[in-house]
């Protein structure tokens, strides 16, 4: 059985991530979406919210497992019995970071390889960090994230707006 892990922060999941998942899940028997639990980095959404949002918008993909991990990715990969890491690639600037990560992971666990999927050109500029920033300033990001995520981002914006008052 070919098991792959698609790790990431997913804070929040975007349409770019979903596109990578739709395409990569055809290449493997089981695709594990693994949300990193980084105790040193507070995200916009909690770990549980991120997992829940991924679950809500990926019901059409039958061979997905949604999970989270902390610590080293390669340790998690070994526990899952996976042989591949899936990552999406957008720009040249992604490439350098991704190359280093793939080489480090391969050095730590030679049985694992990283499979890169080129991002769909529609989502080339879409990143969770830019989506968060724009949404929290009131932008409509519904073209970039699934509807369930757009609703939650809007709620966060409302929450912050009430705390902060109107922008000038």
* Residue 7 sits in the site that holds ligand PNS (CB under 6 A): yes
Pick the catalytic residue from 17, 87, 132, 152: 17
* Residue 72 sits in the site that holds ligand PNS (CB under 6 A): yes
What CA–CA distances, in Å, run from 157 to 76, 129, 133, 160?
Answer: 34, 15, 10, 5
Provide, rounded to whole angstroms, the least separation between the CB of residue 57 and ligand PNS. 17
Binds ligand PNS by CB under 6 A, chosen from 104, 137, 151, 155:
104
Provide, rounded to whole angstroms, the least separation between the CB of residue 153 and ligand PNS. 17
Strands of the sheet with 64-69, listed across from one edge:
64-69, 30-36, 3-8, 84-89, 113-118
Count of C-beta atoms within a 10 Å radius of residue 142: 15
CA–CA dist 84, 93 (Å, integer): 22
Active site residue 93: no
Pick the catalytic residue from 24, 119, 128, 132: 128
Report cis status (omega within 30 of 0) of the bond before 12.
yes
Tell me which stretch binds ligand PNS (CB under 6 A): 4-12, 118-126, 134-142, 154-162.
Answer: 4-12
Active site residue 24: no
CA–CA dist 126, 90 (Å, integer): 9
Active site residue 60: no
Which stretches of the chain bind ligand PNS, using CB under 6 A?
A: 7-9, 36, 72-73, 101, 104-105
């Amino acid at each position: 059985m070919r098991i792959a892990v698609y790790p990431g922060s997913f804070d929040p999941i975007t349409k770019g991530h979903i596109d990578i998942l739709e395409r990569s899940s055809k290449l493997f028997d089981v695709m594990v979406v693994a949300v990193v639990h980084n105790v040193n980095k507070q995200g916009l959404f909690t770990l549980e919210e991120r997992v829940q949002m991924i679950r809500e918008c990926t019901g059409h993909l039958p061979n997905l497992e949604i999970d989270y991990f902390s610590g080293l990715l390669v340790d998690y990969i070994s526990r899952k019995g996976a042989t591949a890491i899936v990552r999406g690639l957008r720009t040249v600037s992604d490439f350098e970071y991704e190359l280093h990560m793939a080489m480090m992971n391969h050095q730590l666990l030679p049985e694992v390889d990283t499979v890169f999927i080129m991002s769909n050109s529609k989502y080339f500029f879409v990143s969770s960090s830019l989506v968060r920033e724009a949404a929290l300033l009131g932008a409509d990001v519904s073209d970039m994230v699934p509807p369930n995520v757009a609703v939650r981002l809007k709620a966060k914006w409302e929450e912050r707006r009430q705390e902060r008052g109107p922008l000038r």
